[in-house]
Amino acid sequence: MLFSRAKNSRDRFQSQAEAVYPSLFGTALRLTRDREEAEDLAQEAIVRAYEAFDRFDGENFKAWILRILTNLYINKYRRKKRVGHSVSLDDEESSYEPVGLAEELPDRQLLDEMLGAEIEEALLQVPEIFRVAVLLSDLEGMTYDEIALATEVPVGTVRSRIARGRAILRRELERYAREEGYLKQES
């Protein structure tokens, strides 16, 4: 009886986890930028989620497990790694200008010219705290509230990080586009 109930719980967890695993692993890879570490991080998140499955509210499994993964990354992997772009409070709070006039910079065209790998590469150049927010919002479709919970910062900070992260991502994409000849070099 006890084992049967446990088996049902395991089956329910496994079917949901398997469905979201590609997203989970993709996010882990985009966070860690290292395949082996990403596999470890995703696996650790799966294990933690399984252990806490009885406390899952049944609402949004993907958001819940991504929250676990992000928390793990912030509290464990990032602390261990200490590489990549570090961002000071000044950087985070610095002002940024809007991207410019639509006719000056053809956003759609720029993005349409880009391949997936190039966007991925540009994304990896975005400092981590901004990248996490942009990833969870734009790729995983998490709400600002869910991102705030996952990253343990206020919603206002999430809003700021997303805007800032997209600005940096745009700069990286433009730089790349100029290098590849998609856009004319600035004089």
Partner 1 sequence: MNREVELVHALADGEVTPVEEAEAKRLVESDPKLRAEFEWAKALKSSMVANCKPIANDEAWKRCVGRLDDLDRVAKAESFVGKWAWVFCGALLLMIFAGGIVSRTVGSRTVSSTQIAGLLDPTGAGLVDAKRAAPEVKTADFVSLSGFTPTSRITGYLDNRPFVRFGLRDQLGLGGLAVVMIQGADRIEGLDQPTSHAVIRAGRLNEVNAVTWPVQGNTCILFGERPTDELVALAQDMMK
Interface residue with partner 1, options 169, 176, 177, 183 (CB under 8 A): 169
Q: Which is nearer to partner 1, 12 or 82 (CB)?
A: 12
C-alpha 88/C-alpha 154 separation (Å) is 17
* Residue 31 found at the interface with partner 1 (CB under 8 A): no
* Residue 17 found at the interface with partner 1 (CB under 8 A): yes
Shortest Cβ distance from residue 103 to partner 1 (Å)?
9
Interface residue with partner 1, options 16, 84, 125, 139 (CB under 8 A): 139
* Residue 30 found at the interface with partner 1 (CB under 8 A): yes
Cβ partners under 8 Å of residue 96, min gap 6: 163, 164, 167
How far lies 34's CA from each of 8, 30, 148, in Å? 34, 8, 25
In which residue are the tokens 């433009």 written?
Answer: 174
* Residue 32 found at the interface with partner 1 (CB under 8 A): no
What is the token pair recorded at 68? 């676990």
Interface residue with partner 1, options 162, 168, 177, 183 (CB under 8 A): 162
Interface residue with partner 1, options 144, 168, 172, 183 (CB under 8 A): 144
* Residue 21 found at the interface with partner 1 (CB under 8 A): yes
Site for partner 1 in 90-109 (CB under 8 A): 95-102, 105, 107-108
Cβ partners under 8 Å of residue 53, min gap 6: 9, 12, 13
